[in-house]
Amino acid sequence: SSAENVIGYLGRIHPERNPELWLASIEKLNLTRQDFKCVIAGSGLNEEKFIAELINLLGPNRVSFKGHVSANQLENFWNEITILLSTSGIESYGLAIREAILRGKKCVAVTSVGARDAKENFGEAITLTQLDPSSIAQSIAIEIEAKKTNLNLEGIRNKQEILNALYVTELVNSWR
C-alpha cells in the first residue's frame, strides 16, 4: 500500500533548496508507480505554490503538509517517512540527511558537500543522484524495490547501530 512508502521533504521551501526539482522528480516517479505518499515538513516563500502543485500531481490523499515543524514535532515526521528526498545542491553539512540516516531512513540526495560527506560515512544508507528528475525518480524507485526485497534487515540494522554510535559521538564532538 502507499502508506509503506513515504517520501519526505524537510526544510525551507525556498528556491535555493530546489523545490521545483523535488516536484519534477515526484512527477517522474508517479508516471511509473503510485505506491507512495509525500510528507512535507517546512515552510517558506514558495510553500503555497509547492503544496498546490504536489496535490495537483498526487491528489490530496497522498500529500500531507505539516508546515514548519518544531523539534518535538520533528519526531513524528521521522516516524512517518521511509525515504528523505533532498534536492538541495548546497547542503554544506547535510544535517537533515545525517538525521535521516541516524534514524535508519533511506536517503536520496543530489550531490552536495554535505551529501558526499554523509555518503563517505554511511555508504548504502544514502544514494547520491544527479540534478535530474529522471535520475532522482529512478533512485527512489530502486530504494522502494530494495525495501521490498530486503531480507537481510538484521545485518543492516546492526551495522546501522554501530554507525549510529560512531555518528552520535562525531556529531556531539562537532558541536563543541
Number of Cα atoms under 13 Å in the Cβ half of residue 126:
26
Each residue's pLDDT tens digit in the chain (176 positions)? Answer: 444 899 999 999 999 889 999 999 999 999 999 999 999 999 998 899 999 999 999 999 999 999 999 888 898 999 999 999 999 877 666 778 888 888 888 889 887 777 778 777 777 777 888 788 999 999 999 888 886 654 455 555 565 666 666 666 666 666 65
Specify the pTM.
0.80
Alpha carbon distance 37, 50 (integer Å): 15
pLDDT at 85: 95
Residue 127 contacts by C-beta under 8 Å, 6 or more apart in sequence?
Answer: 106, 107, 108, 109, 139, 142, 143
- Candidates 30, 49, 26; CA nearest to 39 is 26
